[in-house]
Structure 1
Amino acid sequence: MWTKHHKERKLGRLVLPAITIAFVSYFSYHSIHGDLGLIATEKFERTRVERAVALEKLVAKREALERQVRLLSDGSLEKDMLDEIARYQLNVSRKDEITVFRSYF
């Protein structure tokens, strides 16, 4: 019976650890710098906070406009409000009045 004796190669012992290090490095890099990584998550959170602030401002502006519309609606027409907006839009005032401009829009 013929047998062959193989010499163990030193390179063979390093293949599996090298592949493991490559996979771990790849996934570690992408968990930090990838599309869904830590850096992208922080950027997304900053954008979300900025947009939440902008949304609050827009909601406040919308509520102010809705309040003005309610005051000018047919059921509860406020003559003072109508007069105030007309004077502001037409830039008209009497000589004995003091005009204080407040922006509605």
Structure 2
Amino acid sequence: MALLVLMAFWCVAGPSGLLAWGENQRVLEQRQHSLVALKAERERLKNRVALLDPRKMDPDLAGELVRSNLNVARSDEMVMQLR
């Protein structure tokens, strides 16, 4: 009988038991949210890398990078594209 009680307790409070199920769901939701944010950041970086391709570099981005790397850009400047 004690063995059955111990097994029942293990099924409820064990590392993969019913009590751990809610915690696992919460962790899964947090990681899914962070995955969405990471995918958005990856797409943003992928777009920026595509703009830096030497064969077809975006002149506005090139100018922005040159000015910021040479420390001639001010912190209150905004880059505006005229087309």
Return the TM-score normalized by structure 2.
0.76
Q: CA deviation at 1:77?
A: 0.9
How many angstroms apart in 2 are the aligned matches of 1:54 and 1:32?
Answer: 29
Give unpaired runs (5+ residues) of structure 1. Answer: 1-18
Q: CA deviation at 1:78?
A: 0.9
Amino acid at match of 1:27: M
Alignment of 1:39 onto 2:6 = no
Question: Cα 1:45–1:89, aligned 2, differ >3 Å: closer, same or farther?
Answer: farther
Aligned length: 78
Higher relative contact order (CA 8 A, sep 6+): 2
Name the larger-Rg structure: 1
Q: CA deviation at 1:83?
A: 0.7
Query: Which of 75, 78, 82 is 1:100 aligned to?
Result: 78
Between the aligned residues of both structures, percent identity stands at 29
How many angstroms apart in 1 are the aligned matches of 2:78 and 2:7?
Answer: 63
How many angstroms apart in 2 are the aligned matches of 1:90 and 1:39?
Answer: 57
CA deviation map 1:2-59 (0-9, x unaligned): xxxxxxxxxxxxxxxxx3xx34422321121011101111111111111111111111
Give unpaired runs (5+ residues) of structure 2. Answer: none
Alignment of 1:58 onto 2:38 = yes
CA deviation map 1:55-100 (0-9, x unaligned): 1111111110110010110232111111112223333238xxx613
Question: Cα 1:84–1:53, aligned 2, differ >3 Å: closer, same or farther?
Answer: same
Question: Cα 1:35–1:70, aligned 2, differ >3 Å: closer, same or farther?
Answer: same
RMSD: 2.2
